[in-house]
Structure 1
Amino acid sequence: MQLKIFALTGAAALMLAACTTKEKQTQDGTTNTATGGVVREEAKAETETPPVTPMPAATVIQSQPGPDGSQVDLLSVKVTGDILTVTLRCSSAERYNRETIRVAQVSVIDDATSQRIGVLKDNEGNAMVSNLSRSGSPDNDNMMVDCTSKPGVMWAKFPAPPATSPTVSINLPGVAPFDGIPVQR
C-alpha cells in the first residue's frame, strides 16, 4: 500500500515538474513562455489607432431664405450617369419648423436651353425625393423636411441636362431661386 502511494506521489511530482514555466526574452522584446513543452508567445501591445477624423462640414454653394424664416443651403448639384441629384439643407432658428414642399413645384431649369426639368419618378410612379409623403394624387405629393435647430437634409433627383449645359437654376416653392449653379460631372 505504501508503495502505491509512493508511486502515485512520484507520478504527481513528475507531472508538476513537466508543468513548470520557463520564460525566455526574444530579440524582438516579446516573451516566450514554455509550459510543459508548449511554447506560448505574449502578443505585443498594438500601437494605438489614430482617432476617427470627423467628416468636414458640408460646403455651401449658395444660401437662400426659405419659408417661415428658415434658410435653405444648396450643398451639391451633381450628375451621375443620366441623373442629376440636388442636395439641400434647411435650418431655422424656430424650435418647431417643419416644411412641406410640393414635389410638382420642384424643378431644375437648364440655363442653356431654358427647359424646365421636373423630378424623376421611379417605376412605381413615386417621385425620387427624400422623405416623400404620398397623397391621393401625384400632383399633391410632398417632400417633408425638418428644419428645426438640427438642420434637415433633403434631396431630389432629376433627368440630367446635356453635358453642353454647364449651369442650372433650382426652384423650390417658398424659397428664393438658386440661379446659375455649376453642374458637377
Structure 2
Amino acid sequence: MHLKKLTVVALSACFGLSACQKEEAPPAAPPASEAPAPARAESAPQQPVESMPPATATAPGSGSNLIREPVAAQEQPLQAIQTKMGPKESVIHLTSAKVTGQILTVEFVAVPKKRGDGRYEWLNLTLPLKNVSYIDDATAKKVSLLQDDGEAYMASPLNGTGKSIRLDGHSPITATLKFPAPPETSPTISVNFSDIGSFDGVPVSR
C-alpha cells in the first residue's frame, strides 16, 4: 500500500513537470516573431536606393550645362547689321537702329585691332559728331543728331566738350547716337560717319 502511494506521488510529480514544461514552452516563440524583422530592415533601404538614380542621372547634365553655357556665350558672333573698317585698324559694327517714341537710337560697337596673342590692342579714338547724320531713304531728307540745351550732342560716350565720341579702351566699346525718328513710312535709313563712311539701307525697328 505504501508503494502504491509512492508510485502515485512519483507519477504526479512527472505529470507536474511535464505540465510545467508545456506551460513554459510558449516563451520560446519570440525568436520566431523576431524573424520578420530582418525582412523589414531589408525593405527599408530600398526606397532611398531607388531614388538615387534620378539624382545621379541629372547631375552630369546640369554640371555639363554650367561648363558649356559660358563657352557658348563667348563663341556667339556679334549680331551686326553692317560692318566697316574704322580708324587705327579698328572694326565698326552697326548693331541696331531702333525708334522709341520720337527718338531714333543708333547703336554701334567699335572693336580694337587684335594682337598676335589674341588680345586687343589699346584703342584711343575720337569721332567728331558735327557731320554725323542719317538720310531718310524714303524721302532723301538729311537728319542731324539731337542736341541738349547746352548744345552737347545726344550721344554716348561723349568726351569733355560734348562735341565728339571718345572710344578709349582695350576691349569692344559700345556707342549710341540719338536722332529725331523718321516717319513710319520710312523703313530704312543710311547712317553717315565722316571718319568711317556710310552704312546704307539700315532697317529701322520700332
How does the TM-score come out when normalised to structure 2?
0.58
Which digits, 9 at most, give the CA deviation of each residue in 1:8-61, with x for residues without a partner?
xxxxxxxxxxxxxxxxxxxxxxxxxxxxxxxxxxxxxxxx9x96x777764111
For 1:104 and 1:116, the matched residues in 2 are separated by 13
Which secondary structure state, in structure 2, belongs to the residue aligned with residue 177 of structure 1?
strand
Partner of 1:100: 126
- The within-5 A match list for 1:19-58 is 58=78
Partner of 1:129: 155
Q: Name the structure where helix makes up a greater proportion of residues.
A: 2
Partner of 2:204: 183
- The within-5 A match list for 1:1-185 is 58-93=78-113, 95-135=121-161, 141-146=163-168, 148=170, 150-185=171-206
How does the TM-score come out when normalised to structure 1?
0.64
Matched residue type, 1:170:
V
Cα pair 1:70 1:147 within 8 Å, conserved: no
CA offset at residue 114 of structure 1?
1.3
CA offset at residue 181 of structure 1?
0.7
CA offset at residue 96 of structure 1?
2.2
For 2:101 and 2:139, the matched residues in 1 are separated by 20
Q: Aligned Cα RMSD in Å?
A: 3.0
Aligned residues: 143
Which secondary structure state, in structure 2, belongs to the residue aligned with residue 162 of structure 1?
coil
CA offset at residue 173 of structure 1?
2.0
For 1:147 and 1:169, the matched residues in 2 are separated by 28
Which digits, 9 at most, give the CA deviation of each residue in 1:101-131, with x for residues without a partner?
1011211111111111111112333211002
CA offset at residue 80 of structure 1?
0.5
Q: Name the structure where strand makes up a greater proportion of residues.
A: 1
CA offset at residue 176 of structure 1?
2.6
Partner of 2:43: none
Matched residue type, 2:200:
D
For 2:169 and 2:203, the matched residues in 1 are separated by 26
Cα pair 2:91 2:113 within 8 Å, conserved: no
Q: Which 5+ residue runs of structure 1 have no aligned equivalent?
A: 1-47
Cα pair 1:84 1:158 within 8 Å, conserved: yes
Kindly tell me: are residues 151 and 63 of structure 1, through their superposed partners in 2, closer, same or farther at Cα, counting changes over 3 Å?
same
Cα pair 1:103 1:143 within 8 Å, conserved: yes
Which secondary structure state, in structure 1, belongs to the residue aligned with residue 156 of structure 2?
coil
